[in-house]
Amino acid sequence: MANNNEIAPSISDASVNVAELIADDYVIVCDTNVYLGLYRFSPDYANFALDCLREIQEHIMLPYTVKIEYNKHHHSLFKRRQDKIENSIEDTMKLIEKQQNSLKNSCATLITRQFPGAHEFQDEIDEKYNELKTMLTDYFQERSVLTLIQDSWTNDVVKTFVERLVDSNQIMQDLTRDMIYSICEDGEKRYKKQVPPGHKDGKTKDGIRKYSDLILWKEIIQFAKEKQKNIIFVTDDVKPDWWNIENDKYELLPQLVQEFAKDTKIRESANDGVAGPSMKIVPFVSSDFYEAISNSMNVPKSDVVEQALKITDKDYIDMIEYQAFDSIYDDLKYSGFQYVDESALTYVGSEGIEEWEIDKHEFSSFRMVERDDDQIIYELIYHVEMSSNSCDYWGKDDDTKEIIVSPSYKHGVMGQITISVVRTVDMLMDFEDSSDFDSSEIVSGDFEETSYESCFVDEDDDVPDAYTTCPDCTREINTENDGGNGFCVECAPNH
């Protein structure tokens, strides 16, 4: 018997012994996204994941709502998967050739301008890109992508797997229409209070669809209570209305764990005066689940799969942290007072602030904000030091009509910015390292003044070569702070 005190029941933990949990009569329930996710994996990883699921197939229960959702989407995903794998080498080769031609066109400009060695440089470019094309061809040949397509995926093997669950009667009783309407009514109240799960869907979905997560959750609870079964729950919906995510660890929300325990407990009034125990739930994201099965039930992993399991969010952030900041550099440079409180600065000239100079930036931390299907949103935080100048408007030159401004005031600020990065995970390329992201933007910034230097000396300091005194502020005037009308530069605009 497994010692449940040895595991953290709310953490997705690849070291959990799934075989022992199954021996303790745990039932496995997978969310729709787990089955649909198989279509998005590389052939190597998809076959490994299927091997894991087949190993524990007789212990899986299929929620009725999962069956309905799966049937809606599996056909289009299967077709998309086949097309994408078959076109992967062609599409990637086209991308390489496009970049090659673009760079050669740039070299043609150098040749036209008779830069020395430009022809040789262009030849070297061709040589390197030809090497890259050879690497790409070898990559696909080594992984036998075409063989995998012909042998394993000539038919929809995931659909076959799900149909076997249904044929074996490993499917939960569907909820009545009245029960679903009741859950939706309850969901409307829960979502207003942001009670998980599913309240994040309330903003993006409509009708009954926005309550699909809650309906699934209630279906699992009902099954666990009626059958008095502990549950292994696997889902790749990693939005914050299911999980807390910290340091690449996924923790099922405590509210959900408590609700599961409370609602699966058999009360005395329903059991001849004897209270039953609460059922337990052990959650996983699919990558942890497959690794846990592999470790505890000896399902072999290929080297590519081992590589895939080791890639974490942190690995990805390590690759893009400089690129992400570079992508918003100009936005920050010309942001003016968008992230700096003007009122908190000592003094800003009437002409406003010039562009910011990014003197120093350092990556601080990140968090995964949301995952929706194959799209992940991260927030990256940076500590930043910036400086800029401002000046006062003094008027126009009588002869040239050019604007005359004062010498610059120097401003230094320090704070942090948060950059949102949207990443699409393409697992069809065998989890190769990727530093790509779809978009990035600054979502917040907060800076405080750390230094200020006026272009004029303080009024209490001696003014060298002073030849008069400003009648307004009594500051001494010299050639550098002469406003030109008998007043200092700060008082001159008032006259």
21-47 tens-digit pLDDT? 999 999 999 999 999 999 888 777 888
Identify the pLDDT of residue 5: 40
Q: What is d(CA 157, CA 148) in angstroms, rounded to the nearest whole number?
A: 12
Residues 469 and 334 both lie in one domain: no
Identify the pLDDT of residue 427: 52
Nearest residue to 379 via CA among 387, 371, 390, 391 = 371
* Range 336-342 average pLDDT: 92
- Structure-block tokens of residue 222: 């009902």
Identify the pLDDT of residue 3: 42
* Residue 16: pLDDT band with limits 50, 70, 90: very high
* Range 256-279 average pLDDT: 79
Residues 11 and 70 both lie in one domain: yes
Residues 275 and 132 both lie in one domain: yes
**Local structure of 175: helix, strand or coil:** coil
Residues 84 and 181 both lie in one domain: yes
In percent, the amount of the chain with pLDDT more than 90 equals 43
When the pLDDT of each residue in the chain is averaged and rounded to a whole number, the result is 84
Question: What are the phi and psi torsion angles at 457 (to 5°)?
Answer: -75, 155
* Range 340-360 average pLDDT: 91
Of residues 285 and 199, the one with the higher pLDDT is 285
The residues, any chain, with a CB within 8 Å of residue 309's CB and separated by 6 or more, are 14, 287, 290, 291, 301
Classify each residue of 290-328 as buried b or exposed e, where b means 16 or more C-beta atoms within 10 Å of its C-beta. bbbbbbbeebebeebbebbbeeebeebbeebbeebbebb
Lowest mean pLDDT, pick from 129-138, 252-261, 287-296, 341-350: 129-138
Of residues 371 and 420, the one with the higher pLDDT is 420
Residues 122 and 90 both lie in one domain: yes
Q: What residues are paired with 96 via a beta bridge?
A: none
Q: What is d(CA 279, CA 293) in angstroms, rounded to the nearest whole number?
A: 22
Residues 370 and 484 both lie in one domain: no
Lowest mean pLDDT, pick from 114-118, 125-129, 139-143, 175-179: 139-143
* Residue 202: pLDDT band with limits 50, 70, 90: low
* Range 87-96 average pLDDT: 73
Identify the pLDDT of residue 307: 67
Whether 205 shows a pLDDT value over 90: the answer reads: no
The residues, any chain, with a CB within 8 Å of residue 487's CB and separated by 6 or more, are 470, 471, 472, 477, 494, 495
The domain total for the chain is 3
In percent, the amount of the chain with pLDDT more than 70 equals 84
Residues 446 and 471 both lie in one domain: no
Find the domain containing 487 and state its range: 460-495
Identify the pLDDT of residue 441: 95
* Residue 464: pLDDT band with limits 50, 70, 90: low
Whether 2 shows a pLDDT value over 50: the answer reads: no
Residues 302 and 325 both lie in one domain: no
Whether 394 shows a pLDDT value over 80: the answer reads: yes
Identify the pLDDT of residue 94: 78
* Range 320-324 average pLDDT: 93
Residues 52 and 188 both lie in one domain: yes
Identify the pLDDT of residue 240: 87
Whether 271 shows a pLDDT value over 70: the answer reads: no
Residues 315 and 281 both lie in one domain: no
Identify the pLDDT of residue 480: 74
Identify the pLDDT of residue 208: 81
- Cβ–Cβ < 8 Å for 411, 392: no
Residues 395 and 376 both lie in one domain: yes
Identify the pLDDT of residue 170: 97
Q: What is d(CA 283, CA 235) in angstroms, rounded to the nearest whole number?
A: 8
* Range 13-24 average pLDDT: 95
First to last CA, the chain: 91
Residue range 96-119, pLDDT digits in tens: 888 888 787 778 777 777 788 888
Q: Of 255, 287, 307, at which residue does a domain stop?
A: 307
Residue range 45-75, pLDDT digits in tens: 888 999 999 999 999 999 999 999 999 999 9
Identify the pLDDT of residue 440: 94
Residues 231 and 98 both lie in one domain: yes
Q: Of 290, 307, 324, at which residue does a domain stop?
A: 307
Q: What residues are paired with 385 via a beta bridge?
A: 360, 414
Residue range 415-428, pLDDT digits in tens: 999 999 998 765 54
Q: Of 307, 332, 351, at which residue does a domain stop?
A: 307
Whether 141 shows a pLDDT value over 70: the answer reads: no
